[in-house]
């Protein structure tokens, strides 16, 4: 019997100098003064977001929903006659209507665990509606504060195969009339109470528990059957928010936490998609992936702006850390993509990926992949780009201007500056410390006298061995309540305090 043990210490992120900077959390440098340029950038982004939200194609009705004070049979047209079920309000609403949602947990009709505006994966036949949804209201709708009045989609023991929220908003092919707005604002998407995890146990390396402060052991992939106690219900590949949309689209002031298959995964038709002022934390696969969904001739009519988001702890597809694990992905089918004023930290593959190319050289030459004015820390890679003759190239923040795939805007990418203790202290300490000390133990064994290998030799077949991969942390549950603490900690970068 032969056994090989490989230990990859320091969290797969020793490539980055920020890892050393964060090694001792208590001794991080202190006290940088926030500059006026950052404040101006924040104000400009806020004005742009407000403008996008205030230009509906036509004025519609307003519906009110409250899980605690609403009624199942109410019409929802006034705060005093609020509906109880958000799904009913979605079903009742028409194009250009808006829905105000009070604090509470909204799980669809009869608490099935998810919501939908149009059928998932079938926007061709079920095109959905152009509606706007705003969470964060008090139960009497006298106040809106998304941090104080949490509106969430947080299933527990429900079993389902759908995104937490699917949104379709398309028009038939050849339609030339006005399109409406789609807004998702002020919702918490959390799968942490539904995911399957190993029960936390720092004494048992099989559980993937890095320290006593982390809530659970490692996340369990769909086919995992560990020989340790588990907690939770599902581990299938369900998205947080899935969208197949066009027109004027905005996702803002939301929290995506513990999503087991993307925070946002979307297809975009003709129009503009804005993703701003969100927290993405402990999501798997990627925090945000948006593809264009148009003919080649219409790619110039599609644009995307991903700004002022905080993106932390995105996890790979498997516990072996083989692939995925990106914060943001530049995808095809979109002519202009702007990624700016975000904070990317502790992403297990890369903060940003740019490895896809358009179908012909002319379209690729016209593509604008702008990546500028972002902060990075403790990512395995800050930017991953494709390379001829190599799997990919890792680009640190300070050298992004050298990546020809990025541009025409590429300035201002840098490591998280010193003096941002308030931000770093807002991250769950146990989770951050666990990630900074991430280890993967890989054990391989081969028994020449096993029955299987004796038979294989008899028939001239390959010999077989076994491999066990045990990370001491992988996709563990992040405390969703603490995700709220990350708003507004770095002026001008990352998610700002919602207004």
Q: Is pLDDT of 339 > 90?
A: yes
* Residue pLDDT, tens place only, 267-283: 999 999 999 999 999 99
Residue 23 has pLDDT above 60, yes or no: no
Better pLDDT: 482 or 7: 482
Tell me what the pLDDT averaged over the chain comes to.
88
pLDDT above 60 for 346: yes
Q: What φ, ψ does residue 25 adopt, rounded to 5°?
A: -65, -30
Reported as a pLDDT band with limits 50, 70 and 90, residue 178 is confident
pLDDT digits (tens, 9 = 90+) for 434-461: 999 999 886 545 456 766 656 666 777 7
What's this model's pTM, rounded to 2 decimal places? 0.87
Q: What percent of the chain has pLDDT over 70?
A: 84
pLDDT of res. 469: 79
Distance CA 164, CA 495 (A): 22
- Cβ count near 71 (within 10 Å): 13
Q: Whose CA is closest to 105, among 128, 76, 135, 73?
A: 135
> Is it true that the peptide bond before 408 is cis, omega within 30 degrees of 0?
yes
Higher pLDDT, residue 114 or 391: 114
In angstroms, the Cα distances linking 22 to 354, 430, 438 are 26, 13, 13
pLDDT for residue 61: 98
Distance CA 60, CA 9 (A): 56
The reported pLDDT for the residue numbered 324 is 97
């Amino acid at each position: 019997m032969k056994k090989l043990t490989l230990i990859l210490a320091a969290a797969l992120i020793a490539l980055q100098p920020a890892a050393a900077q964060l090694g001792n959390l208590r001794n991080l440098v202190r006290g940088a003064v926030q500059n006026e340029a950052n404040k101006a950038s924040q104000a400009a982004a806020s004005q742009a977001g407000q403008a996008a939200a205030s230009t509906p194609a036509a004025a519609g009705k307003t519906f009110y929903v409250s899980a605690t004070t609403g009624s199942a049979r109410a019409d929802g047209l006034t705060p005093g006659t609020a509906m109880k079920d958000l799904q009913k309000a979605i079903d009742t609403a028409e194009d250009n209507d808006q829905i105000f949602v009070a604090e509470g947990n909204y799980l669809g009709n009869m608490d099935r665990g998810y919501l939908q505006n149009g059928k998932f994966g079938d926007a061709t036949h079920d095109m959905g509606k152009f509606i706007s949804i705003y969470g964060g209201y008090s139960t009497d709708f006298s106040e809106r504060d998304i941090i104080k009045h949490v509106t969430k989609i947080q299933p527990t023991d429900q079993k389902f195969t759908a995104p937490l929220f699917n949104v379709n908003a398309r028009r038939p092919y050849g339609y030339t009339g006005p399109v409406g707005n789609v807004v998702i604002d002020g919702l918490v998407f959390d799968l942490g109470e539904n995911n399957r995890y190993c029960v936390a146990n720092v004494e048992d390396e099989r559980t993937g528990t890095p320290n006593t402060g982390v809530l659970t052991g490692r996340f369990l992939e769909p086919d995992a059957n560990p020989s340790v106690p588990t907690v939770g219900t599902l581990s299938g590949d369900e998205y947080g928010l899935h969208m197949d949309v066009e027109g004027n689209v905005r996702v803002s002031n939301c929290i995506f936490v513990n999503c087991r298959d993307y925070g946002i995964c979307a297809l975009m038709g003709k129009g503009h998609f804005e993703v701003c002022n969100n927290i993405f934390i402990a999501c798997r696969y990627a925090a945000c992936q948006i593809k264009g969904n148009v003919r080649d001739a219409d790619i110039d009519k599609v644009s995307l702006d991903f700004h002022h988001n905080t993106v932390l702890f995105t996890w790979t597809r498997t516990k072996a850390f083989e692939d995925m694990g990106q914060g943001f992905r530049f995808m095809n089918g979109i002519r202009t993509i702007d990624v700016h004023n975000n904070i990317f930290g502790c992403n297990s593959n890369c903060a940003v990926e740019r490895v896809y190319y358009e179908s012909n050289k002319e379209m690729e030459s016209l593509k604008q992949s702008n990546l500028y004015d972002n902060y990075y820390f403790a990512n395995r890679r800050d930017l991953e780009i494709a390379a001829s003759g190599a799997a990919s190239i890792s680009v640190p923040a300070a050298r992004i201007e050298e990546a020809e795939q990025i541009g025409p805007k590429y300035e201002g990418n840098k490591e998280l500056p010193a003096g941002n203790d308030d931000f770093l202290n807002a991250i769950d300490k146990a989770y951050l410390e666990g990630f900074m000390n991430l280890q993967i133990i890989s054990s391989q064994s081969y028994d020449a006298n096993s029955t299987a290998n004796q038979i294989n030799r008899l028939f001239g077949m390959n010999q077989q061995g076994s491999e066990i991969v045990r990370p001491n942390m992988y996709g563990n549950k992040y405390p969703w309540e603490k995700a709220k603490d990350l708003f507004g900690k770095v002026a001008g970068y990352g998610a700002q305090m919602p207004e």
